Amino acid sequence: MLYIILGIVVVLLTILILGLLLPQKRIVTKQTVYNASVETVYNTVTNNKDWKYRTSIEDLRIVETNGEFEIWEEISQGNTIRFKTKEKKPFVFYSFEMNSNFFQGEWFAKFEPIENGKTLFTATEIITYKNPLIRVVGYTFMDLDKFMETYQRELKNKIENASR
């Protein structure tokens, strides 16, 4: 029995030490070119009422609206993340804050018109884990790069299929 308790303590201490060694903050940036105007891309990204094209979200509830600014919650795999619009510059820039039991962060996007009516979309997500144990879980199970890639692919499908 003593060996089991000692083993559990050693595992927990190892996870804690790993968490302390991992960076507290993660930053991922992804770019995609959309065959649509900056207005179309911006309006699609900032429209929280039209979210069903995003397969990672089970539900999205707008909690509060104040002009162009919103507070909303997204439910995914039983977890709720609360978002709050931070800044909107139509057709140029959009950002929001996010907060969950496990992390807090910020997401922002730039919209740049490029040749032939296309848009260069650059999104950055910054996540800060709330404690070292969650940090280990986050680095192990939260593939931010894949999340961003999936979001931008689904956004591309939504935008480019809507224009046909």
Of 88 and 78, more confident: 88
Burial readout 38-75 (b: 16 or more C-beta within 10 A, e: otherwise): bebbbebbbebeeeeebeeeeebeeeeeeeeebbbebe
**CA-based end-to-end distance of the chain:** 66
Q: Please check the confidence at residue 33 and state whether its pLDDT lies above 90.
A: yes
Long-range contacts of 75-81 (CB under 8 A, 24+ apart): none
What is the tens place of the pLDDT at every residue in 128-150?
Answer: 998 998 899 888 888 999 999 99
Answer yes or no: are the C-beta atoms of 121 and 26 closer than 8 Å.
no
Q: What pLDDT is stored for residue 161 in this prediction?
A: 84
| Range from 4-8, 34-38, 90-94 carrying the lowest mean pLDDT | 4-8
Q: What pLDDT is stored for residue 50 in this prediction?
A: 95
| Range from 11-15, 40-44, 57-61 carrying the lowest mean pLDDT | 11-15
Mean pLDDT of the 112-136 span: 94
The token duo for 118 is: 């296309």
Answer yes or no: are the C-beta atoms of 55 and 154 closer than 8 Å.
yes
Q: What pLDDT is stored for residue 12 in this prediction?
A: 85
